[in-house]
Amino acid sequence: MSNLFSNVFTFKKLICSFLLSFVVFVSAAKTYNLPPEGSRLIGDMQYHEVIKGDYFQRIAEHYNVGFLALMAANPGVDPFLPTLGHQLVIPSQMLLPFGKREGIIINLPELRLYYFPENSDKVHVFPVGIGREGLATPKTISYIGEKRKDPVWRPTTEMKARYFAEHGRKLADEVPAGTNNPFGKYALRLGTSVYLLHGSNQRFGIGMRASSGCIRLYDDDIEWLYQHVAINTPVKIVDQAIKLSYEPNKKLIEVHSPLTGDNGEMSKTDITSAVRAFVGDFPENKSLLLNQVTNPKGLVTELHAN
């Protein structure tokens, strides 16, 4: 993820972890009406005035948006000590990813999961955590192959070796269901692979690159998916840093930070010929695109009329 967030995991993480241990959160799936075919715009912009005791993790969970998404939408604001009275932008309006509206679509750069139930005019959107640098969540086309309640965590040989190298002590061969289990209470397997959609015993990390490659959700969100998503539901994991939409009498664009490479180097957003054609030759729109790519906020932005 963009180096905009490279300093997040500093001593401030310790402060946030301390605060989180005293707070109980409630998360709920956000449900949107599907737009008509040809349109991708869902949701409305929301705003939040900072009150005493607020910090980004609390606010992100209240609105069920990602931590990094909230940071990107509010550049320059301290995520742990935002100024009282400051009005924050809540990234609750978005463009649907390009692709067929079916099953589950996970768009890695925006750290969101979209679920399109069969025979429904709704889409359910969840913030997710994905694999960190060096342990990237793969782009793939798969399906829900298995559903587990109270899953047992069995760390792989690679996880054990990495943990021992980092901490100097061994991981258990398996961790039963309970508060120490990093899978949380529910897990959905992608096909027959080692990758899961699962809960977590740590709330900090949802909406971030923090996992070992699996898709991590808030416990309430993965429970909802467990209850509503059927075996064999198709799953598509995509990498769409730039999303576009032709809407009635306007053109919209939404730009997210590209995923960093496994070596930790920042990637550059690929401005394709299709994106250039969509933006057009109007100088103000070219400038807007350049600004969005250089400083992506992940917010839906309207292009100027030519």
- Give the integer Cα–Cα distance in Å for 257 and 240: 10
Q: How many CB atoms lie within 10 A of CB 2?
A: 19
Tokens of 51: 């009150």
Task: Identify which of 25, 98, 9 has the alpha carbon closest to the alpha carbon of residue 65.
Answer: 25
Amino acid at 55: Y
Q: Which residue has the tokens 């309640």?
A: 149
**β 41-43/242-247 pair status:** unpaired
Q: Which residue has the tokens 């998360």?
A: 27
Q: Would you call 223 helix, strand, or coil by DSSP? A: helix
Q: Which residue has the tokens 């840093």?
A: 241
275 exposed, middle or buried (CB, 10 Å; 0-12, 13-18, 19+)? middle
> Is 198 marked active-site?
yes
- Give the integer Cα–Cα distance in Å for 137 and 191: 14
Helices (H), 55-156: 56-63, 67-73
**Which residue in 62, 86, 167, 214 is the catalytic one?**
214
Q: How many CB atoms lie within 10 A of CB 18?
A: 9
In degrees rounded to 5, what are phi and psi of residue 196? -125, 155
**Which residue in 198, 228, 256, 304 is the catalytic one?**
198
> Is 228 marked active-site?
no
Catalytically annotated residues? 198, 214
